[in-house]
Structure 1
Amino acid sequence: MKEFWIYTALRAGMFVGAFCIVFGVWFLVADAVNVLLVVVIAFLVSGVASYLLLERQRNAFAVKVEDRAGRISEKYEEMRAKEDEPED
């Protein structure tokens, strides 16, 4: 679960950083800032940046999810095998 929160916090941080940069550049270039467009641009920029920069964190999170799914499927198979055993 720790990996999820680390990855999520880094993604949120990248979005906030991208928003600040895009907003700042837009504010310096023009008098009026279209905040909705800044949010869309920041979302796209942070998405690409996180895809390129957060591979290690994304892989760690994926390994945790895969391990948990494997444990759950093993427990399911054990329970199913117990149900299939003939009663004496």
Structure 2
Amino acid sequence: MRPVLVYTASRIGLFLVALGVLWLLGLQNPLWLILASFLISGIASYVLLSRQRDAVSERLSDKIDRPKPQDD
């Protein structure tokens, strides 16, 4: 569960940083502020969080591939 939490917290953190920087730069319209922050944080997470994304993917694929116990 840890890789999922780290990745999620990192994504939220990148979004909040982008939101704060854009607000400080003078983008005051809430709709454009959120949309631009979402876009910037998405691009930044694609570049910066590839290692965490791979860990989440590996964790999820291991859970899916694990055999389920048989109930008789």
Give TM-score scaled by structure 2 length.
0.90
Considering only aligned residues, what root-mean-square deviation do their CA atoms show, in Å?
Answer: 1.6
Q: Which has more radius of gyration?
A: 1
Partner of 1:75: 68
Matches of residues 1-88 of structure 1 in structure 2 within 5 Å? Answer: 1-26=1-26, 33-71=28-66, 74-75=67-68, 79=70
Segments of 4+ moved more than 4 angstroms:
none
Query: Which of 1 and 2 has higher RCO (CA within 8 Å, sep 6+)?
Result: 2
Identity %: 36
- Match of 1:68, SS state, is helix
Q: How many residues align?
A: 72
Structure 1 unaligned segments of length 5 or more: list them. Answer: 28-32, 84-88
Unaligned runs of 5+ in 2: none
Q: Hey, which of these two has a bigger chunk of helix by percent? A: 1
Q: Scaled by the length of structure 1, what TM-score is found? A: 0.75
